């Protein structure tokens, strides 16, 4: 491990340092706010390292650790996104973690460790590293899902453990087949072999390998038909963890899908664009239809994230462009990146508002949100904005994201998929708005309950600003996501 390597993976190393520090501080100084502050301010170190790496034009060789990871703009984009999500999450869960009086440090540490896995996942350019990063991401999440230690939470943890194990097995088997055919685990090498060998031999084994990898990744991004763990785990896990699963975990999953399919399997000769298009349509439709009948808020949001995985897959499907120009190539993946930013801001706002509301009602049933507008008008306004953005109505970021995604789909001649998408927008508006309408129904309960603490207000403020701000001025983020993808295309 040279200095060069250390510099390039410094964000992850710093993150690990913060995670361990939090653990020690928790033991040494068991005061309420210290752990929180260390965890939050500690994030500044990896953040600054990412800023340096983004701006650094001197380091030409951007691959580290024996060429297994690369720190290109694409990876850094996701690192920023994940760091942002973790930062806001730590702020937003400040009230919630009060109930873990003795295990608060562990809660933060596990989240931080999991995010290291995600950050590596965004960088990984080699199959074994991808696998290890995925495991590093998933295992802390298992513990986190079971963190409340009651029946539902334990079930959630156990279910997540088993199903993520099964999906990893699929993924690994797929990787083995691909390795057996191409003789390499490096994505560029695989692409090279595929291009040279054409489709002469071992094609079916290769296809099976790719198919199994799609299954493995499909579990991680909660795509239909591999979504059955979602509602149970989302319902049982502590709500901040649910938010983390819904946002960061999905973002990292899409990072790795885009990298693997964009680099390794671009010329593989099967039309995986159509495959993803079909999966995308299925995810949207099934997710939205199942969400309609839900009565539990967290289950509803679980199915909503399945639907959103479908929207995002639209951008992945648009990656295999039939139009032979590089600017079109960039449109699909860059729309995924943009959508992920908006999705993260929106979902975090929604989850934080719900955490605060659930703290007031003590129930996760949708009907118990009745009369919430009198008890917490600001939270209601935030949740309304969040729901409007999830539907995709302007002037929120959800609209801009969908506009960009549908645009990518249509420009790649996936008009039918865009039509399925818009019909799904209509379906989804029903259950999102039902949630809002319930809050405006009259109810006898009027006590206001404890107000949110300062960090939670800050987190809500940041996320709502993101939802509306990027919705009105999407230019900068659009530019960054395009630059990011173009840099990756050029690097090939």
Partner 1 sequence: MLTAVVFTPLAGALIILALLHDPRVVRRFAIAVILVDLAIAIAIFCIFDPSDPGLQLEERINWIPALKVQYFLAVDGLNAPFVLLTGILGMCAALASGSINVRVREYFVWLLVLQTALVGVFLALDFVLFFVFWELQLIPMYFLISIWGSGRKEYSAMKFLAFTILGSAFMLVGFLAIYLSTGIFDMVALRNVDLDTLVIPAKVIFFLLAIGFIVKLPSWPFHSWLPDAHTDAPTGVSVILAGVLIKMGGYGLIRVCVSIFPGITQDYSWLIVALGVISIIYGALVTLRQSDLKRLIAFSSISHMGLVLLGIASIGAVSDHLTSTGLTGAAMQMFTHGTITGLLFILVGVVYEKAHTRYIPDLGGLAHSMPFVCVTFVIAGLASLGLPGLSGFVSEILVFLGAFSAWPWPTAIAVFGIVLAAGYILWMIQRVFFGPVSSKHVQVKDIGVLEAIPVAVLVATIVVVGIYPTFLTDVFSVGVDPIIENVRDIAR
Q: Which of 61, 274, 430, 448 binds partner 1 (CB under 8 A)?
A: 430
Least Å distance, CB 430 to partner 1, is 7
Q: Which of 418, 435, 456, 467 binds partner 1 (CB under 8 A)?
A: 418
Least Å distance, CB 413 to partner 1, is 7
State both tokens at 179. 């390795």
Q: Which of 150, 267, 271, 413 binds partner 1 (CB under 8 A)?
A: 413
d(CA 489, CA 346): 29
Would you count residue 487 as binding partner 1 (CB under 8 A)? no
302 vs 398, beta carbon nearer partner 1: 398
Burial class for 284, CB neighbours closer than 10 Å (0-12, 13-18, 19+): buried
Rounded alpha-carbon distances, angstroms, from residue 74 to 79, 262, 459: 9, 12, 26
Whether the Cβ atoms of residue 240 and residue 85 lie closer than 8 Å to each other: no
Contacting range for partner 1; rule: CB under 8 A; set: 16-24, 127-135, 203-211, 416-424 = 416-424
State both tokens at 485. 């993808």
Query: How is residue 184 annotated by DSSP?
Result: -
Least Å distance, CB 450 to partner 1, is 23
Contacting range for partner 1; rule: CB under 8 A; set: 55-63, 85-93, 189-197, 418-426 = 418-426
Q: Which of 255, 404, 462, 467 binds partner 1 (CB under 8 A)?
A: 404
Least Å distance, CB 267 to partner 1, is 25
Contacting range for partner 1; rule: CB under 8 A; set: 36-44, 45-53, 197-205, 473-481 = 473-481
| Phi (first) and psi of residue 391, to 5 degrees | -65, -40
Q: Which of 122, 136, 474, 485 binds partner 1 (CB under 8 A)?
A: 474
271 vs 479, beta carbon nearer partner 1: 479
d(CA 337, CA 479): 11
Whether the Cβ atoms of residue 143 and residue 107 lie closer than 8 Å to each other: no
Q: What is the DSSP string of 71-94?
A: --HHHHHHHHHHHHHHHHHHHHTT
Which of the residues 441 through 470 are near partner 1 (CB under 8 A)? none
98 vs 413, beta carbon nearer partner 1: 413
d(CA 128, CA 13): 19
d(CA 358, CA 185): 47
Please state the separation of Cα 298 from the chain's center in Å: 17
3-state secondary structure at position 124 = strand
Q: Which of 33, 201, 437, 453 binds partner 1 (CB under 8 A)?
A: 437
Q: How many CB atoms lie within 10 A of CB 441?
A: 12
253 vs 471, beta carbon nearer partner 1: 471
Rounded alpha-carbon distances, angstroms, from residue 105 to 21, 22, 435, 457: 10, 6, 34, 22
Residue whose pair of structure tokens reads 């953040």 in the numeric block: 47
Q: Which of 251, 406, 452, 488 binds partner 1 (CB under 8 A)?
A: 406
Residue whose pair of structure tokens reads 């959630």 in the numeric block: 156
Least Å distance, CB 432 to partner 1, is 11
Crossing angle of helices 250-259 and 203-220, in 10° steps, is 160
Q: Which of 51, 162, 422, 491 binds partner 1 (CB under 8 A)?
A: 422
Binding to partner 1 by CB under 8 A, coded x per residue (else -) over 171-190, reads --------------------
Whether the Cβ atoms of residue 290 and residue 156 lie closer than 8 Å to each other: no
Would you count residue 475 as binding partner 1 (CB under 8 A)? yes
d(CA 291, CA 285): 10
Q: Which of 440, 449, 457, 487 binds partner 1 (CB under 8 A)?
A: 440
Would you count residue 479 as binding partner 1 (CB under 8 A)? yes
Binding to partner 1 by CB under 8 A, coded x per residue (else -) over 359-398, reads -----------------------------x--x-xxx---
Site size for partner 1, by CB under 8 A? 31
Contacts to partner 1 by CB under 8 A = 388, 391, 393-395, 399-400, 403-404, 406-407, 410-411, 413, 415, 418-419, 422-423, 425-426, 429-430, 433, 437, 440, 474-475, 478-479, 482
């Amino acid at each position: 491990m040279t200095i060069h390597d250390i510099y390039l993976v410094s964000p992850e190393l710093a993150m690990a340092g913060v995670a361990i520090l939090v653990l020690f501080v928790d033991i040494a100084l068991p005061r309420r706010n210290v752990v929180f502050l260390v965890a939050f301010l500690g994030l500044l170190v990896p953040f600054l390292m990412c800023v340096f790496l983004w701006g650094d034009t001197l380091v030409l060789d951007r691959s580290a650790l024996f060429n297994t990871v690369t720190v290109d703009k694409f990876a850094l984009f996701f690192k920023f996104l994940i760091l942002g999500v973790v930062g806001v999450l730590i702020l937003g869960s400040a009230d919630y973690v009060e109930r873990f009086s003795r295990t608060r440090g562990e809660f933060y540490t596990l989240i931080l460790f999991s995010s290291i896995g995600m950050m590596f996942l965004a960088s990984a350019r080699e199959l074994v590293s991808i696998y290890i990063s995925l495991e590093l991401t998933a295992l802390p999440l298992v513990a986190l899902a079971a963190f409340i230690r009651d029946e539902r939470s334990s079930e959630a943890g156990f279910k997540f453990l088993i199903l993520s194990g099964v999906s990893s097995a699929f993924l690994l088997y797929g990787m083995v087949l691909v390795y057996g055919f191409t003789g390499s685990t490096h994505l560029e090498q695989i692409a090279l072999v595929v291009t040279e060998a054409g489709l002469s031999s071992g094609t079916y084994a290769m296809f099976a390998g790719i198919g199994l990898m799609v299954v493995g990744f499909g579990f991680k991004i909660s795509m239909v038909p591999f979504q059955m763990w979602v509602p149970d785990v989302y319902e049982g896990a502590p709500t901040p963890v649910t938010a983390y699963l819904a946002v960061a975990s999905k973002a990292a999953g899409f990072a790795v899908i885009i990298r693997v399919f964009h680099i390794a399997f671009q010329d593989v000769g099967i039309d995986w664009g159509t495959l993803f298009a079909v999966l995308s349509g299925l995810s949207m439709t099934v997710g939205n239809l199942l969400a309609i009948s839900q009565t539990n808020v967290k289950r509803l949001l679980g199915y909503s994230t399945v639907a959103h995985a479908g929207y995002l897959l639209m951008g992945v499907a648009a990656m295999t462009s039939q139009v032979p120009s590089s600017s079109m190539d960039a449109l699909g993946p860059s729309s995924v990146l943009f959508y992920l930013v908006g999705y993260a801001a929106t979902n975090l706002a929604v989850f934080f508002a719900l955490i605060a509301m659930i703290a007031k009602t003590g129930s996760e049933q949708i009907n118990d949100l009745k009369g919430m507008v009198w008890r917490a008008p600001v939270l209601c306004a935030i949740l309304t904005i969040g729901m409007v953005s999830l539907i995709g109505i302007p002037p929120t970021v959800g609209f801009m994201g969908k506009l960009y995604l549908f645009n990518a789909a249509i420009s790649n001649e996936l008009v039918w998929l865009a039509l399925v998408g818009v019909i799904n927008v209509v379906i989804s508006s029903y259950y999102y708005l039902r949630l809002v309408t319930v809050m405006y129904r009259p109810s006898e309960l009027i006590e206001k309950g404890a107000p949110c603490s300062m960090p939670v207000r800050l987190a809500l403020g940041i996320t709502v600003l993101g939802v509306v701000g990027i919705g009105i001025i999407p230019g900068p983020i659009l530019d960054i996501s395009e630059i990011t993808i173009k840099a990756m295309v050029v690097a090939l």
